[in-house]
Every structure is written in structure tokens, then in C-alpha cells.
């Protein structure tokens, strides 16, 4: 017997979509508005090896030097 079979309640998803209309198009503000209007969101991130040394504050990958250099955001960013 699986945990789902023994669960008091089982929840499912009726509708889903990308915040901002497509993969990677949502902004922090879009995410905040989505949470305010519709509740929790599901997100993931796959950090680089350097993340294991992260200890506090806002994490920025060394690969994201475009942020500190004041350059515009690339079309796709691996984090």
C-alpha cells in the first residue's frame, strides 16, 4: 500500500501555466503577484557547484557577472 493510498487527503493540479507566459519570462514581481492572487507556486533551480559554499544573503552565481556589470539579462541563464 502506497502513502497515497493511506493519505487522508490527496491534492491534484487542475490548471498550470508558466508565470510570465513562458519559461524564464517571469519576473520577481510577476511571481509575487501570482502568489498574492493564486497562492503557492512551484519553482526549481539547479545551481552550479559553487552553490555548496553559499552561506547567507542573496545568492548570485559567478556565472551571472552580467548582474554586477550592469549588462542586460541574457535570453537564457543557467542557475
pLDDT of residue 4: 65
**pLDDT tens digits for 5-25?**
777 887 787 778 888 888 778
The residue with cell 487522508 is: 8
**pLDDT tens digits for 30-50?**
999 999 998 888 887 777 777
Q: Is the pLDDT of residue 77 over 60?
A: no
pTM of the model: 0.48
Q: Is the pLDDT of residue 54 over 70?
A: yes
With beta carbons less than 8 A apart as the criterion, state whether 10 and 4 touch.
Answer: yes
Amino acid at each position: 500500500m502506497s502513502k497515497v493510498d493511506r493519505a487522508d487527503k490527496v491534492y491534484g493540479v487542475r490548471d498550470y501555466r508558466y508565470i510570465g507566459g513562458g519559461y524564464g519570462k517571469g519576473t520577481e514581481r510577476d511571481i509575487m503577484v501570482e502568489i498574492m492572487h493564486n497562492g503557492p507556486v512551484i519553482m526549481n533551480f539547479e545551481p552550479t557547484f559553487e552553490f555548496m559554499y553559499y552561506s547567507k544573503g542573496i545568492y548570485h552565481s559567478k556565472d551571472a557577472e552580467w548582474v554586477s556589470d550592469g549588462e542586460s539579462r541574457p535570453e537564457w541563464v543557467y542557475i
